[in-house]
Amino acid sequence: MNAAAGLSVLFYGGTGVISSACAREAARAGHTVSVLHRGQTPSRALPDGVEVMHADVRDSNWVAHALGGRRFDVVADFLAFHPDNVRQSLDQLAGRCGHYVFISSASAYQTPPSRLPVTESTPLRNPLWDYSRNKIACEDLLVQRYRDDGLPMTIVRPSHTYDATSPPLFGGWTAVERLLRGAPVVVPGDGTSLWTVTHARDFARAFTTLLGEPTAYGEAVHITADTALTWNALFTTLAAAAGVEAHLVPVASEAICEGRPELTGSLLGDKAQSMVFDNSKIRTFAAGWHAETTFAQGAREIVRWHREQDVCRVEPDLDAYFDELVARWRP
């Protein structure tokens, strides 16, 4: 059963890759959409009619002033990363939220997974990334509140979700710029591990069916594409979209992290692991849903956006580090 249109929906967030796509889709589906964020990050385009309110969600007095006495059928929280954040959000929303939707992460699943594909019953355990462990702790808190108090909540786990502004390559825009200028790019591991990338608009179509849906209360569900590509294929597909040749240099993930320990969580605790997902559960809410955007299409959109916006987001230190790795690891 899909939620009916006409709900009042508040997004904590609304400027990010996923949250902005979900706000657009919720509005398209006929919901009354408001977004709450600090207003310090340039917003991705939201449709006319979406209400934008400014407040720091970690400042409860500011939030109370922004919301006044309003109540919302659904609040989707994209800005909670620690159990204390969830507690604060629930306190802020007491008496004004019919359905709380928490955005977790597929990186919370067992890492590395003992079997593929990953399902919602796959254990949650990631010893390598604080971000993931904190998301697990958030989920534990919400599950306990559901069991003890009947909190109408749903947990949603995105995997690597992207749009035209956010290339899903290891190294991000630095890697894209290296591809475009013909420089060798560093590929984690041997490049053959499988990685699932999902376009934000596909995620949003499935996500919107969960809003205000009573059968989703107390449930956790991931939303991802059904197919996975190797890292080699991700790099070469984007290079093909740009009309350039990809010069790939495989580097052991552990070696990458030795020189940049801050990459350990997101690489060894996430991207270095093959991840393929079973999306049967989300289809019980979004009948017939599947991700429609292939990465070949998404890659063309990334290249087009990059060229139209004339953006260059190279991280000089990371770019220099890639040069060092290439010098050591290129055959």
- pLDDT tens for the 331 residues of the chain, in order: 345 679 999 999 998 999 999 999 999 999 999 999 988 666 678 888 999 999 999 999 999 999 999 999 999 999 999 999 999 999 999 999 999 999 999 999 999 999 999 999 999 999 999 999 999 999 999 999 999 999 999 999 999 999 999 999 999 999 999 999 999 999 999 999 999 999 999 999 999 999 999 999 999 999 999 999 999 999 999 999 999 999 999 999 999 999 999 999 999 999 999 999 999 999 999 999 999 999 999 999 999 998 888 766 789 999 999 999 999 999 8
Question: Contact at 8 Å (CB) between 101 and 210?
Answer: yes
Distances in whole angstroms, Cα of residue 78 to Cα of each of 19, 109, 192, 202, 288: 7, 19, 32, 17, 26
Q: In what order do the strands lie in the sheet with 8-12?
A: 51-54, 32-37, 8-12, 74-77, 100-103, 153-158, 220-223
pTM of the model: 0.95
- To the nearest 10 degrees (0 to 180), the angle between helices 316-329 and 172-180 is 60
Location of structure tokens 């006495």 = 69
Nearest to 207 by CA among 289, 313, 125: 289
The four Cα atoms 69, 31, 297, 277 give a dihedral, to 10 degrees, of: 80
Distance of CA 255 to the CA centre of its chain: 26
User: What count of other Cβ atoms lies within 10 Å of the Cβ of residue 207?
Assistant: 27
End-to-end CA distance of the chain: 55
